[in-house]
């Protein structure tokens, strides 16, 4: 059997639902016999059923004595039809290739051990890095119990994110902006501030040729509950979650609740909400992946608290000048420990993706 070929195909399957399975990882599964694929599946776009369950159902009796290729350790914890591990045992699969051990403590190594105890041949680790990369948000968020966090910024050559008078104007070109929409499409939620909402009134949708493809979940840090009730983020509220962290408990918070927002009351210390707590609460609310679209004050606060995993910069060949709004208030990109992961040219814009160290 060509194991590498099949495990690669299992990863191709996983990629089909990238950005759709939150907070679950996207997993691909292939069932084969005599070098032929019997069935293949990917985690359902709602996160359940899992890929193994779908693939086994498709394979039916043919799964008996077959080989399974799966990108992540099958689950140990129960679902409606029993755990994936129990379903594999019932199916008669004789051999299983697993790229990566699940880091969820409910499963971690438990399924592998159970399969081995039941005399199934288990081979782990082939193309592990690919699984880690596809589901980066899952592995990082489970480790720190906070969402995996990407900050997106369009900047000028002199590292400004807006003009001093907050005059609204695109900094990046249309190719960069389309890339931002692709990035949003792969994210679970946008995190922003009341200030960015008040200044820009963004929609935070995924759009292609002005058509809305996805209404993203939006999370707002809004201490004094200043966002206007006609803000565009409140449109199509039944297609998304809007979570607002605030210190206020008043008629406006009630009105926002009635509209469908989740209002989380937070304490204020030194005129700030504790962002570490915000992130822990978000994780408990099953938000595992964030894209930050806010200004340089908020970015500086996130950096101080070590809450940023990646920075995505779209650099345009313009100079805004000293009066412009800085990328990181009171700090500079140069001072931040980071590793360049990707560099690309989008016409005259430079795209830079960094991992924060």
Ligand X SMILES: NC(=O)c1ccc[n+]([C@@H]2O[C@H](COP(=O)([O-])OP(=O)(O)OC[C@H]3O[C@@H](n4cnc5c(N)ncnc54)[C@H](OP(=O)(O)O)[C@@H]3O)[C@@H](O)[C@H]2O)c1
Residues assigned a catalytic role:
52
Whole-number Å distance between alpha carbons of 190 and 233: 10
Q: Does 324 sit near ligand X (CB under 6 A)?
A: no
From edge to edge, which strands make up the β-sheet containing 121-124?
36-42, 28-33, 67-72, 95-100, 121-124
The angle at the Cα of 20, spanning 29 to 208, to the nearest 5 degrees, equals 130
Interface residue with ligand X among 137, 204, 298, 351 (CB under 6 A) is 298
Q: Does 221 sit near ligand X (CB under 6 A)?
A: yes
Q: Does 295 sit near ligand X (CB under 6 A)?
A: yes
Encoded one letter per residue, x for contact with ligand X by CB under 6 A and - for no contact, window 329-348 reads x-------------------
Residue closer to ligand X by CB (options 201, 235) is 201
Whole-number Å distance between alpha carbons of 302 and 148: 12
Residue 227 Cβ vs ligand X, minimum distance, rounded to whole Å: 10
Where in 135-194 is the site for ligand X (CB under 6 A)?
Answer: 153-154, 161-162, 166, 171, 193-194
Residue closer to ligand X by CB (options 203, 329) is 329
**Number of residues forming the site for ligand X (CB under 6 A):** 27
Residue 1 three-state SS:
coil
Q: Does 96 sit near ligand X (CB under 6 A)?
A: no
Residue closer to ligand X by CB (options 134, 225) is 225
Whole-number Å distance between alpha carbons of 343 and 351: 6
Name the nearest CA neighbour of 243 among 230, 232, 256.
256
Q: Does 199 sit near ligand X (CB under 6 A)?
A: yes
Residue 288 Cβ vs ligand X, minimum distance, rounded to whole Å: 21
Q: Does 275 sit near ligand X (CB under 6 A)?
A: yes
Name the nearest CA neighbour of 51 among 79, 36, 66.
79
Residue closer to ligand X by CB (options 55, 190) is 190
User: Do the Cβ atoms of 253 and 227 come closer than 8 Å?
Assistant: no
For the four alpha carbons of 246, 257, 296 and 149, in that order, the dihedral sign comes to: positive
Residue closer to ligand X by CB (options 72, 162) is 162
**Cα–Cα distance list, 221 to 185, 216, 243, 245, 298 (Å):** 22, 16, 9, 5, 9
Q: Does 33 sit near ligand X (CB under 6 A)?
A: no
Residue 19 Cβ vs ligand X, minimum distance, rounded to whole Å: 20
Secondary-structure breakdown of the chain: helix, strand, coil percentages, each rounded to the nearest 5: 30, 30, 40
Q: Rule CB under 6 A: which residues touch ligand X?
A: 153-154, 161-162, 166, 171, 193-196, 199-200, 221, 223-224, 272-273, 275, 293-298, 301, 325, 329
């Amino acid at each position: 059997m060509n194991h590498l070929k099949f495990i690669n195909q299992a990863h191709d399957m996983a990629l089909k639902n990238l950005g759709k399975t939150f907070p679950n990882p996207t997993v691909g599964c292939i069932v084969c016999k005599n070098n032929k694929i019997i069935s293949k599946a990917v985690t359902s776009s709602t996160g359940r059923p899992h890929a193994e369950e779908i693939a086994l159902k498709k394979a039916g009796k043919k799964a008996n004595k077959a080989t399974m290729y799966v990108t992540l350790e099958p689950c140990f914890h129960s679902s409606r039809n029993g755990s994936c591990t129990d379903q594999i045992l019932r199916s008669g699969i004789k051999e299983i290739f697993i790229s990566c051990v699940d880091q969820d403590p409910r499963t971690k190594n438990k399924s592998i051990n159970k399969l081995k105890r039941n005399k199934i041949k288990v081979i782990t680790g082939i193309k592990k890095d690919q699984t880690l990369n596809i589901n980066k948000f899952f592995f990082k968020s489970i480790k720190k119990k906070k969402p995996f966090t990407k900050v997106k910024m369009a900047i000028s050559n002199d590292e400004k994110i807006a003009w001093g008078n907050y005059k609204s104007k695109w900094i990046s070109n249309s190719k960069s902006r389309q890339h931002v929409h692709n990035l949003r499409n792969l994210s679970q939620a946008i995190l922003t501030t009341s200030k960015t909402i008040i200044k820009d009134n963004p929609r935070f949708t995924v759009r292609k040729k002005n058509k809305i493809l996805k209404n993203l979940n939006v999370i707002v840090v809004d201490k004094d509950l200043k966002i206007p009730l006609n803000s565009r983020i409140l449109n199509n509220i039944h297609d998304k979650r809007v979570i607002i962290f605030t210190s206020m408990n008043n008629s406006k918070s009630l009105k926002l609740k009635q509209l469908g927002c989740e209002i989380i009351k937070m304490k204020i210390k030194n005129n700030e909400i504790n962002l570490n707590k915000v992130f822990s609460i978000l994780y408990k609310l099953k938000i595992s992946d964030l894209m930050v679209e806010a200004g340089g004050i908020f970015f500086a606060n996130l950096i101080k608290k070590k809450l940023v995993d990646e920075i995505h910069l779209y650099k345009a060949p313009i100079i805004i000048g000293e009066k412009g709004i800085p990328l990181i208030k009171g700090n500079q990109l140069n001072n931040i420990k980071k590793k360049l992961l990707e560099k690309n040219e989008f016409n005259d814009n430079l795209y830079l993706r960094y991992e924060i160290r």
